[in-house]
């Protein structure tokens, strides 16, 4: 048996949710460039769940379902206020809170499609409220209740800051959420599908996916990119810092991709957003440093940036704390994870590959007295 390292190139499922063919990403066949340009995140959530764009009434209904279910259970707020949030990563707390949502969902074990769809709505509605509440409570501030009159993206920034965002900030978050929503069989989505393929519940699938996304080789990369930019500090230091990394054959966060070879089609949208936000905030240096890093890495190693690279300077320009970057990825990918979980339940078979055994053969039990 030959092992495909990292399951590279292995087709492990069928899906009608998103596709990556010849470096082109589509959600249900609609190109990511069009979606980034025109779609609201609510439209994308509906598209991923129902495999079609919503009409006006359907969009209005989904938007109000997300708004009506955005509040967190009081027990979750109490838990957050009673925990020292400074000593734990928000992705770890997110995993805990998803499990708490299961505790307070009397329908948690129901596996019929209607119940699972309602859980998907609850999870999508509450994940952004959690990230904002986590940030506020960690700063010693009261959480801000969701505002039903705002879009999903604007509401997230409002709950985070207490102020209604300006148009460019709302557009930036909306675009970032659209771009991160789904990505075929990425590691965290595959994790979710493996988990629920045992017919485990959606909450278990989502906590498993959150665990996978947290890693710096996956969703955790955006926080690592910002850490790298902060370490470099100024444009003058970029060349020596990156050259040292490349000479040491170290991984440069925000670059490379398992599937894309000619480049991640999402990166250009976040690059432009980073430039626009940098110009508005007067802090263009994060963009110019990122651009310089991209020039060095792509020319010397021929490895293009991925979705995580410019998202770091976008979120920083919006004043978002750096360890919230991956939780924001989770806010968006909650739509893709739930879509894939619902799809897995539709036509399910347990996912159970084989392993090539390399341990000792013909071994036997030795009484403890005779062991070295």
Binding mask 55-94 for ligand SDX (x = CB under 6 A): ----------------------------------------
User: Is position 252 an interface residue for ligand SDX (rule: CB under 6 A)?
Assistant: yes
Give the HSE-up count for residue 10: Cα atoms under 13 Å, Cβ half-sphere. Answer: 12
Please confirm, yes or no, whether 322 is among the known catalytic residues: no
CA distances from 326 to 33, 91, 149, 234, 356 (A): 22, 7, 26, 24, 34
Distance CA 178, CA 172 (A): 10
Stretch that binds ligand SDX, among 31-39, 52-60, 245-253, 280-288 (CB under 6 A): 245-253
Give yes or no: 316 in active site. no
Question: Within a 10 A sphere around the Cβ of 6, how many other Cβ atoms?
Answer: 9
* Window of 26-34, 306-314, 344-352, 359-367 that interacts with ligand SDX by CB under 6 A: 306-314
Q: If binding is defined by CB under 6 A, does position 146 make contact with ligand SDX?
A: no
Q: Does 54 bind ligand SDX (CB under 6 A)?
A: no
Q: How far is the CB of 295 from ligand SDX (least distance, A)?
A: 15
Residue 303 binds ligand SDX (CB under 6 A)? yes
Distance CA 126, CA 73 (A): 9
Q: Does 251 bind ligand SDX (CB under 6 A)?
A: yes
The alpha carbon of 118 is separated from its chain's Cα centroid by a whole number of angstroms, namely: 21
**Of 52, 48, 304, 53, residue with least CA distance to 183:** 48
Chain residue at closest Cβ approach to ligand SDX = 256
Q: Residue 280 interacts with ligand SDX (CB under 6 A)?
A: no
- What is the smallest separation between the CB atom of 303 and ligand SDX, expressed in angstroms? 5
Scan residues 215-234 and list those touching ligand SDX (CB under 6 A): 217-219, 221
Other beta carbons within 10 Å of 173: 29
Output 111 or 217, the one with its CB closest to ligand SDX. 217
* Cβ-contact 129, 71 below 8 angstroms: yes
Nearer to ligand SDX, 186 or 317 (CB): 186
Residue 18 in 3-state DSSP?
strand
Residue 225 tokens read as 């990119």
Q: Which residue in 45, 177, 253, 296 binds ligand SDX (CB under 6 A)?
A: 253
Q: Which of 180, 257, 316, 340 is catalytic?
A: 257
Kindly give, in sequence order, each residue whose CB lies less than 8 Å from that of residue 186, ignoring residues fewer than 6 positions away. Answer: 218
- For residue 113, give the nearest of 18, 27, 202, 192 by alpha carbon: 202
Residue from 40, 116, 306, 317 in contact with ligand SDX (CB under 6 A): 306
- Going by C-alpha positions, the residue among 315, 232, 223 that lies closest to residue 270 is 315
Q: Binding of ligand SDX at residue 6 (CB under 6 A)? A: yes
Does residue 327 touch ligand SDX according to CB under 6 A? Answer: no
Q: What is the CA radius of gyration of the chain?
A: 22
Please say which residue, 23 or 71, places its beta carbon nearer to ligand SDX. 23
Sort residue 263 into left (φ over 0), alpha (ψ -120 to 50) or beta. Answer: left
Take residue 10 and report the two structure tokens written for it.
């292995």
Q: Which residue has the tokens 């148009």?
A: 167
By CB under 6 A, tell whether 338 contacts ligand SDX: no
Closest CB to ligand SDX among residues 72, 181: 181
* Residues near ligand SDX, by CB under 6 A: 6, 183, 186, 217-219, 221, 251-258, 301, 303, 306-308
Active-site annotation, residues: 257, 308
């Amino acid at each position: 048996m030959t092992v495909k390292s990292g399951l590279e190139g292995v087709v492990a499922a069928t899906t009608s949710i998103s596709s990556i063919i010849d470096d082109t990403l589509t959600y249900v066949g609609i190109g990511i460039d069009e979606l980034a340009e025109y779609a609201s995140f609510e439209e994308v959530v509906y598209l991923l769940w129902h495999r079609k764009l919503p009409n006006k009434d359907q969009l209005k209904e989904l938007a109000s379902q997300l708004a009506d279910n955005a509040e967190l259970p009081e027990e979750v707020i109490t838990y957050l206020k009673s925990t020292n949030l400074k000593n734990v990563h928000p992705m770890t707390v997110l995993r805990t809170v998803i499990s708490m949502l299961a505790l307070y969902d009397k329908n948690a074990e129901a596996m019929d499609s209607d119940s699972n769809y309602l859980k998907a709505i609850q999870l999508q509605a509450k994940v952004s409220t959690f990230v904002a509440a986590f940030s506020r409570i960690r700063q010693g501030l009261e959480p801000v209740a969701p505002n039903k009159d705002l879009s999903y993206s604007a509401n997230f920034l409002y709950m985070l800051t207490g102020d209604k965002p300006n148009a460019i900030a709302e557009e930036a978050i909306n675009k970032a959420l659209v771009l991160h929503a789904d990505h075929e069989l990425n590691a965290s989505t595959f994790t979710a599908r493996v988990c629920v393929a045992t017919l485990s519940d959606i909450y278990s699938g989502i906590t498993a996916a959150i665990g996978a996304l947290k890693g710096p080789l996956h969703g955790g990369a955006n926080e690592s990119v910002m850490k790298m930019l902060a370490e470099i500090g100024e444009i003058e230091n970029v060349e020596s810092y990156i050259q040292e990394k490349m000479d040491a054959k170290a991984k440069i966060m925000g670059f490379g991709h398992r599937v894309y070879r000619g480049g991640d089609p999402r990166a250009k949208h976040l690059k432009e957003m980073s430039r626009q936000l940098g110009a508005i905030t007067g802090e263009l240096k994060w963009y110019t440093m990122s651009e310089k890093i991209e020039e060095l890495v792509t020319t010397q190693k021929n490895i293009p940036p991925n979705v995580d690279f410019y998202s770091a300077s976008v979120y920083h320009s919006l004043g978002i704390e750096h360890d919230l970057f991956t939780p924001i990825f989770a806010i968006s990918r909650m739509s893709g994870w739930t879509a894939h979980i619902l799809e897995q339940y539709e036509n399910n078979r347990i996912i159970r590959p084989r392993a090539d055994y390399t341990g000792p053969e013909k071994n036997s039990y030795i009484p403890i007295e005779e062991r070295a």
